[in-house]
Chains A and B, each alone.
Chain A
Amino acid sequence: MPESTTVTTIGSWESDNVTIGQVENALTDLRRHEQRAAVRTSVLTLVAVVNTDAEADGARQIIADLGARHPSRSLIIVAVDDEPDAANGTDASVWVRAIEREGRAVCFEEVVLRVRGNARHHLDSIVEPFALPDVPMVVWLPAGLPSPGDPLMQAANRVVVDSRAVAEAGGDVLARSLTLAKRLPVADLSWMRLEQWRSMLTGLFEGAVYRPFLGAVDRVEVRGNHGPRFLLGGWLLRRLNLPPVRVHLARDDHVSVTIHGVYDGRRGTFTVARLGAEREIKSCVDIEDGPKVEQTVRMREQWPSLALASALTRFGHDEIYEEALAGARDLRLAEGDQMGPTP
């Protein structure tokens, strides 16, 4: 979160074994009695679904940082799955907060609901009463993908996932993301974090001198962890219309992409790479018998809230992401494997 931003709590309320109506009333009362909260500028209802209290704390922190960019009503649902036989019930905590920067303030509301019993399979019925009128509802799944037929997806206008976090937990993540993206607009935080690589790589081919090399690519090398390297590899495969055999992926802790091509008899090498553990990215263009230039820049700040904030600015299908997923699938098929984490 930017240092100049402060968050203050205007009011709060909590109670166990409550009805949704009681929570709604509490929220209304908190706003009614505090002038600062009376004016609200909301752009969306954000629903985060987690499984543990610790995950809920993490999500709350990220949402607090997010308030400055996307004032919203946020609903954090802890779908408690370690008490399978528990009776239906909901414990609730409600906060109304103000986030302030340079004398300006934005108010936002935060509701944490701990849902037990079978109600956790019907979260749509819980979130609908809290949905703000006329603004989109975004469902954020910090560490998972929705199960097929999850009714909560019916209520969502957009789903935010993090394929990297899910991949760490195991599973055929990118294939499931592709299936999900065919049904609903999906924002993948892993894809958002790759934006600076995509932007810088694209920038290397701006201008008529370097762009022709994109039509003469003979090898692409992408290094990184499973999700990022498949997403970037799939993106380049599809955008550059390459056969999978020209895209080479390798495991690495840090992302790097190199594109090789020969145009007009000269070999050109274009690289964007993170420099080890340093938060720096180096981009380089090397043309045989021509210019060799490079630049090192600081990586964009990676507060967790930034990727989420970026995801929340878009509401339609991200066709380029979906193409990248399809490209990732092609690469896995070419490897004769299913899309899953590389050991």
Chain B
Amino acid sequence: MSGPLSTSGENPLAEATVERVAPPAVLVVFGASGDLTSRKLMPAVENLALRRLLPPGFSVVGVARTPMTDEEFRERMRAAVEVSGGGGEDAKHVWEAFAGGGFRYVAGDYSHPDTFKRLKDVLDELDEQRGTAQNRLIYLATPPDTFPTVVQGLAGCGLNRPANDDAFVRIVIEKPFGRDARSAERLDAVVHEAFEERQVYRIDHYLGKETVQNVLALRFANAIFEPIWNRRYVNHVQITVAESLGVGHRGGFYENAGALRDIVQNHVMQVLALTLMEPPATFDAGGIRDEKVKALRAVDVMSPEEVAQNVVRAQYRSGWVQGSEVHGYRDEEGVDPHSQTETYVAMRLKVDNWRWAGVPIYVRTGKYLPKRVTEVAMEFNRVPHLPFAMSQAEGLEPDALVLRIQPDEGITLRFGAKVPGQAFRVRSVSMDFFYGAAFLEETPEAYERLLLDALLGDPTLFIRSDEVAQAWRIVDPVLEAFGEGDLPLARYEAGTWGPPEADTLLDRDGRRWRKP
């Protein structure tokens, strides 16, 4: 039987198990001469093209202040991708394809309407010449203070709205999403004046990491974990985002950010939401993001007194990290010698919902810690009665399940086992599962994954406006306490796991930090 085929919906040739190619579109990058564009976005574009996931006609338009021709921009990006480990013989075709008019550049000031008019002309040309169908993915790879100017400039030229019902215009915004709740709200208001929320893709590259997504797979694809994922079995949760590097050349930026804004408000809150959320009814953007918001909404907001009790902030001083002697934070380039900016934060959070009531969530993040590691550790309650003498179980720790997000992605389960021999002695052993031991396959880089999702219109791994608001709701009182000097700034030696005050935070509860 044959007959006319309806093509108004999904592509009839598409298969769920075959990777989808992006629709024809133009990627418009503001901040095209910047670091993010050359180090992350362009390698992602090259890799997507190499994986045959970009359609013929796909085009890139860079916008920045630096004067450059189309050709110079393309060559500069090509060279930058090579520096990032890309390029090579296979990439030759990718750049040759772009040489045919698929790589354009618009130099101009973001505050000048003429910049956007010229951008519009270029986009119209590309639609005509390369069939990009008036589809645009606009990427703001610029400093956050330029977001309102760029957004208003786009709206002033009508570049914020799709030209017809079949076309799309989406805007990708990089973190930080504001400096606090109020500025985030203001930013949202500016963005929402020009774009509908469904057009806005707020990117936190952490969500593009395979192992962060694996938290969802582990929790919701396995029947054995979910029944114990609650207050009856879990004693407490520890989330660690440790960096073994200092601020490097980002001292100037970091002075205005600090660990709370740089890591806790976004990465930590996202990992926390994925860990604590309820199972979504549907595994799509709406289903998952609704549950994440509910989880964040259940996190208790601290009063100033509670901040003093439950938060530790600290700054690194000089020390030794992985065999190298390093400067203290105040000696870093671009940093005030009397800086009060925190490079380390530890917090005890309380979650007021049915599942997690009474289970403390300990969070810590810092720079120049002994090693780079991101993990979520669930420590379980001890057995109600130990049927052997304490001397037989001296090495027995509570059971724990650790989700290692980076760098050794995998899962560790710690449990008690009998020590071989005549005597009956029990000690803890760790059973490690490395994703790498089951799958040695290469996984796409986070930016590659997220860029393709944005082109395909899948916002699941992007952050919705209400998620940002909920994260700021938790962090804001802490920021206020920092700003008002209500919380003393502790110091820790670079290369250690943080200040003694952070240990005291757990000691008080009869617990201690894990050594990841």
A residues with a Cβ closer than 8 A to B are 5, 39, 41, 43, 68-69, 71, 99, 101, 104-106, 195-196, 198-215, 236, 239-243, 280-281, 283-285, 287, 290-298, 300, 314, 318, 320
Contacts and interface: CB of A to CB of B under 8 A. Distances in A.
Nearest to B439: A69
Interface in B58-96: 58, 90, 93-94, 96
Contacts of B4: 215, 241
A202 B90 contact: no
B166 interface: yes
A241 B130 contact: no
Interface residues of B, number: 52
6 contacts: A104-B434, A198-B18, A281-B52, A284-B56, A293-B56, A295-B56
Nearest to B126: A291
B13 A201 contact: yes
A303 to B, nearest CB: 13
Interface of B: prevailing SS: loop
Given A203-B55, A295-B56, A214 B5 contact: yes
Contact of A300 (B52, B94, B133, B166): B52
Contacts of B24: 206-207, 209-210, 293
B49 A215 contact: no
Nearest to B101: A293
Interface in B1-37: 1-7, 11-15, 17-25
Interface of B: 1-7, 11-15, 17-25, 49-50, 52-58, 90, 93-94, 96-97, 128-131, 133, 135, 165-167, 433-434, 436-441
A198 to B, nearest CB: 6
Nearest to A209: B133
A133 to B, nearest CB: 17
B438 A106 contact: yes
Contact of A41 (B3, B135, B437): B437
Nearest to A319: B15
Contacts of B21: 199-200, 202-204, 206
Contact of A296 (B5, B11, B97, B438): B97
A214 B7 contact: yes
A202 B2 contact: no
Contacts of B55: 203-204, 206-207, 283, 295
B439 A240 contact: no
Contacts of B5: 214-215, 240-241
Contacts of B56: 204, 283-285, 293-295
Nearest to A69: B441
B131 A285 contact: yes
A208 B93 contact: no
Contacts of A298: 50, 90, 93
Given A41-B438, A297-B52, A202 B133 contact: no
A202 B10 CA distance: 11
A292 B24 CA distance: 12
Which of B7, B17, B54 has the most C-beta atoms of chain A within 10 angstroms of its own C-beta? B7
B433 A293 contact: no
Contacts of B135: 207
A69 B11 CA distance: 30
A285 B57 contact: yes
Contact of B12 (A214, A291, A294): A214
Given A99-B440, A201-B13, A240-B12, A207 B130 contact: no
B166 A291 contact: no
B437 A105 contact: yes
A295 B129 CA distance: 14
B440 A205 contact: no
Give the 8 A-B residue pairs with the shortest CB-CB distance, closest first: A203-B21, A291-B131, A208-B166, A207-B23, A295-B56, A293-B57, A68-B440, A206-B23
Contacts of A212: 7
Contact of A211 (B11, B128, B131, B433): B11
Given A204-B21, A297-B49, 13 more contacts: A104-B440, A199-B21, A200-B21, A201-B13, A202-B20, A203-B52, A205-B11, A206-B21, A209-B133, A281-B52, A295-B93, A296-B97, A314-B17
A293 B130 contact: yes
Nearest to B127: A291
Given A104-B437, A206-B22, A285-B131, A239 B12 contact: yes
